[in-house]
């Protein structure tokens, strides 16, 4: 069984509330930020175009910083799985600037057989195409998809993957021990 991980909310932490407050406290800013995010994550628009749609001067550095916290207990689990010969892969909704930052700063990305960044594959979760792209690249139907968002887990299950709704490392460890 291949384990296909989501990044944010599983390996990396959710967006930093402190940095988010530095970016803006205006509800209309965050409404626009999220409304236009899927196109940015998918790579349909550049950072400049995205921030124009948000209606704000570019905050690329702050945005990258807001998403840059990592759960090192999860990174240790990735190393354990890789060292045990387990096939692991990554599927993340992520814009290009953030993807490049992670590649520059986190060598553990090399543990993944496939790194499917939405900005480079043209599909973002929960779109069916994101999961099909991964399945096609991995060449296997026995895939466990791990994500903190239930809608993404359900979407993976619709293409024949097993799903695990991630709520913490202990539950994931128990599941993986039961399915070596």
pLDDT exceeds 90 at position 64: yes
List, for residues 87-109, the tens digit of each pLDDT value: 999 999 999 999 999 999 999 99
Q: Is the C-alpha dihedral spanning 108, 109, 114, 117 positive or negative? A: positive
Distance separating alpha carbons of residues 35 and 48, to the nearest angstrom: 16
Q: Could you give the 3-state DSSP secondary structure of residue 67?
A: coil
Q: Is the pLDDT of residue 169 over 80?
A: yes
CA distance 168 to 166: 6
**CA–CA gap between residue 118 and residue 39 (Å, rounded):** 10
| Burial grade of 4 (CB within 10 A; 0-12, 13-18, 19 or more) | buried
What pLDDT does 141 receive?
79
pLDDT of amino acid 133: 98
CA angle 73, 34, 121 (to 5 degrees): 70
Q: How far apart are the first and last CA of the chain?
A: 8
Q: Rounded mean pLDDT of the chain?
A: 96
Are residues 109 and 27 in contact, defined by beta-carbon separation less than 8 angstroms?
A: no
pTM over 0.85: yes
Residue 7 burial (CB < 10 Å; 0-12/13-18/19+)?
buried
Please give the Cα distance from 48 to 28 (Å, whole number).
Answer: 19
pLDDT at 52 over 80: yes
Q: Residue 54 pLDDT > 80, yes or no?
A: yes
pLDDT at 180 over 90: no
Helix, strand, coil percent values for the chain (each to nearest 5) = 55, 15, 30
The pLDDT of residue 73: 98
pLDDT for 140 equals 80
How confident is the model over 151-173, as a mean pLDDT?
A: 97
- What pLDDT is attached to residue 149? 97
Position 121 scores a pLDDT of: 98
pLDDT digits (tens, 9 = 90+) for 7-36: 999 999 999 999 999 999 999 999 999 999
- Residue 141, classed as helix, strand or coil, is coil
Per-residue pLDDT tens digits for 105-140: 999 999 999 999 999 999 999 999 999 999 999 998
């Amino acid at each position: 069984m291949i384990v296909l991980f989501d990044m944010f909310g599983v390996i990396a932490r959710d967006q930093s509330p402190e940095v988010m407050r530095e970016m803006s406290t205006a509800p209309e800013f965050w409404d626009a930020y999220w409304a236009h995010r899927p196109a940015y994550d998918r790579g349909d628009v550049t950072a400049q175009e995205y921030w124009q749609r948000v209606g704000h001067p570019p905050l690329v550095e702050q945005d990258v910083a807001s998403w840059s916290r990592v759960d090192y207990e999860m990174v240790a689990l990735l190393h354990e799985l890789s060292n045990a010969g387990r096939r692991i892969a990554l599927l993340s909704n992520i814009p290009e600037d953030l993807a490049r930052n992670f590649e520059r700063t986190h060598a553990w990305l090399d543990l993944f057989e496939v790194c499917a960044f939405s900005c480079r594959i043209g599909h973002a979760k929960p779109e069916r195409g994101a999961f099909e792209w991964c399945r096609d690249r991995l060449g296997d139907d026995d895939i466990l998809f791990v994500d903190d968002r239930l809608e993404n887990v359900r979407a993976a299950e619709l293409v024949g993957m097993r799903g695990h709704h991630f709520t913490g490392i202990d539950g994931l460890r128990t599941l993986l021990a039961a399915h070596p």
